[in-house]
Amino acid sequence: MSTRKYSVPVFLDGLVSQEKYEHWLTQKARAHVQRDQKKIQNISTMLYKELIHKAVQKSQGRDAYTGEDLDWSLLSKWRNDEAKRLGSSYKKKFALLPSVDHAFGRDGLPVFEICSWRMNDAKNDLSIEEFIDLSKKVLKNINNSI
């Protein structure tokens, strides 16, 4: 059985090998398919790989929300045992790790954006509109207390 290759985007040439990129892409697609199986019937890992790959290409290597350059050298370097042992100091090293943010469009189909792990963690399950609204409240509160 042959598998379709998703070429490493040009902006990642020399930073991420084809093998590492495809491994990361497959892992992300599988994780999101597993998460969405109750919401969408007959979803495939191949479709999700295609959609996530397009999101990576669109990102040009930057966080979709902050515009920051992501650290693609961090792909597949996260270690759960180290994270447990070192806590927040370990997590901070992975702030700019590329992450796949995932929502659903009005048509009910998944929409993916590439962002930093820090942004994805902060946004959590909020829509981008809800996150922006929350951020505005935080800024307003800080500005009122200065």
Q: Summarize pLDDT for 106-145 with one digit per residue, the tens.
A: 887 889 999 999 999 999 888 889 999 999 999 999 888 8
The Cα 125–Cα 146 span in angstroms is: 30
Give domain status of residue 3, yes or no: no
Strand, helix or coil for residue 108: coil
Residue 43 in domain: yes
**What's phi and psi for 37, nearest 5 deg?**
-55, -30
| 106 located within any domain | yes
- For 19-55, the DSSP string reads HHHHHHHHHHHHHHHHHHTTTSTT--HHHHHHHHHHH
Number of domains in the chain: 1
Task: Please report where in the chains the tokens 């397009």 appear, as a residue.
Answer: 54
**21-39 residue pLDDT tens:** 999 999 999 999 998 888 8
Q: Residue 76: inside a domain, yes or no?
A: yes
DSSP 60: T
Domain that holds residue 50: 10-117
Q: What is the Cα Rg of the chain in Å?
A: 17
* 20: in domain: yes
pLDDT for 1: 43
3-class DSSP state of 111: strand
| Tokens matching residue 103 | 């929502």
Q: Report if residue 73 sits inside a domain.
A: yes
